[in-house]
Amino acid sequence: MKTLVQNKTNSYCETGNYHTFCPISCVSWLYQKIEDSFFLVIGTKTCGYFLQNALSVMIFSEPRYAMAQLEEGDISAQYNEYSELLKVCLKIKKDRLPKVIFWIGTCTTEIIKMDLESTAKKIEAEIEVPIVVANANGLDYSFTQGEDTVLAALIKKAPLRKNKSLNTTPQLFLFGSLPNFISTQLSLELSKQGIKVAGWLPSSKFTQLPSIAPGDFVCGVHPYLSRAAYTLIRQRECRLIIAPFPIGPDGTRAWIEKICVTLGYSISGLKEREKQIWNKLVSYTNKLEGKTVFFTGDNLLELSLARLLTSCKMKVCEIGIPYLDKRYQAGELELIEKICKEQGIRMPKIVEKPDNYNQLDRIREFQPELVITGMALANPLEARGINTKWSVEFTFAQIHGFGNSENLLKLITRPLSRTQHLVNT
């Protein structure tokens, strides 16, 4: 494998020729999360085509997002970007009455060097609707990192809690977009330990963004939010709790524990809670135990999922991942190393910026019992007798916290159950 460049023990970097969703796809879940928002993707027909096909039925329910489709005159600067964008934003304001407009910059705006930031400031003043600019382009980011860039931009708009004398005790804020149902569940888990969550980023309304003060604690719920994390540290002087992510019973427990330890709370009943959940999941873990799994990598959830599957005693052949931030994901890396050590197995190989073509070679070699991959390779691999799970589903399904562990394992075991079913009937 001469294209693999080794960085550290068991961590490699390849060519970056892999399939993933364009990061502008984050508008699909973010517009649902932030109820008073409107997302405007400033790009070309290619972006629009991707969105309308990837999101299929969502398009028909009058979503709060649209394309500002660039024409030849925009590219050659025959049209003035300020007046063009003003026209579009005025229409959006009139038709949809949003409390905030997100501008999503794309590859094209990046290459032609459209100065979205300063144009946004002018237009914001003109139309009296706040504008948040985020560059979620395929030149720099993959798939879920789109949310990261949007959150990082949003944090700059969050109000500052100025009056220090009123509230001196630092508060805890969580960041990462989750459906309200799930974020409430996670907040409740923490409140069982006596910890109060002061607010979430993003909040379900732009107008209710939490106010953060220097010295406050922040903790992420997704593995792909490193930019947002650094923005909180550097621009808001927050203290980041580096923990594994609350995905699976093991991750959720470790996440809560880390928060408790950092904030100086004693931990009660967590070990039993985790055990209880695992007991409920026996029928799933039995199915997974001893089987091999391969991640081709496309959404940055791979490390957390591989850690969970290692806990389920699966053998992980390879963890493909678009980008691994070793500082932000340190908690997760530590946990998987610990689990491997406990089981007496080697740490699985992590491949950053993978090469799908080379990965196919390795898949042929390993013949894993399950490949977690994108839709471009899923059907061809199934046709070659290899079970696959479509990785994008993990981004859209509810997988966080103790309560969703069963949901998550159901997703992972489904291809195996299907194969078993087909063999038995």
Partner 1 sequence: MKLAYWMYAGPAHIGTLRIASSFQNVLAIMHAPLGDDYFNVMRSMLERQKNLPKVTTNIIDRHVLTQGSANKIIRNIIRKDKEESPKLILITPTCTSSILQEDLDNFIKKSSLETNADVLLADINHYRNNEYQAADITLKQIIHFYIKKYTNSKISLTKEPSVNIIGAYSLAFHNQHDILELIKVLTELNIKINLILPKGASIEELEKLPKAWVNIVPYRETGILAAKWLKENFNIPYISTTPLGHENLAIWIKELEYCLKSKGRVNLNFNNFIENKTTFNSQSFWFSRSIDCQNLIGKSAVVFGDSTHVAAITKILKKDLGINILWAGTYCISDQNWFKHTLKEYTNNIFVSENYSVVEKLIKIASPDAIFGTQMERHVGKKLGIPCGVISAPIHIQNYPIGYRPFFGYEGANQLIDMIYNTFSLGMETILLEVFGGHDRQVTETASFLNKGDIYWTKEAENIFAQIPKIFQKKIKHKIDTYAASLNKTIVTPEILYKAKASLTK
**Stretch in the footprint of partner 1 (CB under 8 A) among 204-212, 221-229, 264-272, 374-382:** 374-382
392 beta partners: none
Q: Which stretch binds partner 1 (CB under 8 A): 6-14, 79-87, 200-208, 278-286?
A: 79-87
* Cα(222)–Cα(62) distance, integer angstroms: 28
Number of residues that bind partner 1 (CB under 8 A): 60
Of the residues 11, 135, 137, 404, which one makes contact with partner 1 according to CB under 8 A: 137
Taking contact as CB under 8 A, which single stretch among the options 308-316, 332-340, 378-386, 395-403 is the one that binds partner 1? 378-386
Measured at the alpha carbon of residue 60, what is the angle toward residues 54 and 61, in degrees to the nearest 5? Answer: 110
Nearest Cα neighbor of 37 from 205, 199, 228, 209 is 205
> For residues 174 and 179, what is the distance between their CA atoms, to the nearest angstrom?
13
**In the complex with partner 1, which residue's Cβ is closer, 72 or 272?**
72
367's enclosing H/E stretch is none
| 122 part of the interface to partner 1, by CB under 8 A | no
**Cβ closest to partner 1, residue 42 vs residue 314:** 42
The reply to whether 367 sits near partner 1 by the rule CB under 8 A is no
Closest CA to 199 of 172, 167, 237: 172
Under the binding rule (CB under 8 A), the answer on residue 75 touching partner 1 is yes
248-263 and 302-311 helices, crossing angle to 10°: 110
105 phi, psi to nearest 5 deg: -75, 150
What would the x/- binding string for partner 1 be over residues 341 to 360, using CB under 8 A? ----------------x--x
Q: Using the rule CB under 8 A, is 408 a contact of partner 1?
A: no
Site string (23-62) toward partner 1, x via CB under 8 A = x------------------x-xxx-xxx-xxx-x--xx--
- Amino acid at the residue 420: Q
CB of 105 to partner 1, least distance (A): 13
- Out of 36, 84, 325, 393, point to the residue binding partner 1 (CB under 8 A): 84
What does the alpha-carbon distance between residue 29 and residue 141 come to, in Å, rounded to a whole number? 17
Counting beta carbons within 10 angstroms of the beta carbon of residue 57, is it exposed (0 to 12), middle (13 to 18) or buried (19 or more)? exposed
386 in contact with partner 1 (CB under 8 A): no
Q: Rank residues 395 and 405 by Cβ distance to partner 1 and give the closer one.
A: 395
What CA–CA distance (Å, rounded) separates 185 from 195?
Answer: 13
Contacts for 88 with CB less than 8 Å, ≥ 6 apart:
40, 68
Closest separation in Å from C-beta 153 to partner 1:
19
Q: Which is nearer to partner 1, 97 or 376 (CB)?
A: 376
Nearest Cα neighbor of 297 from 350, 240, 342 is 350
Q: Does 68 bind partner 1 (CB under 8 A)?
A: yes
Please answer whether residues 18 and 353 qualify as being in contact, where contact means their C-beta atoms are separated by less than 8 angstroms. yes
Per CB under 8 A, the list member of 1, 5, 77, 111 interacting with partner 1 is 111
> What residues make contact with partner 1 under the rule CB under 8 A?
16-23, 42, 44-46, 48-50, 52-54, 56, 59-60, 63, 66-72, 74-75, 79, 81, 84-85, 87-88, 91-92, 107-108, 111-112, 137-143, 357, 360, 374-380, 383
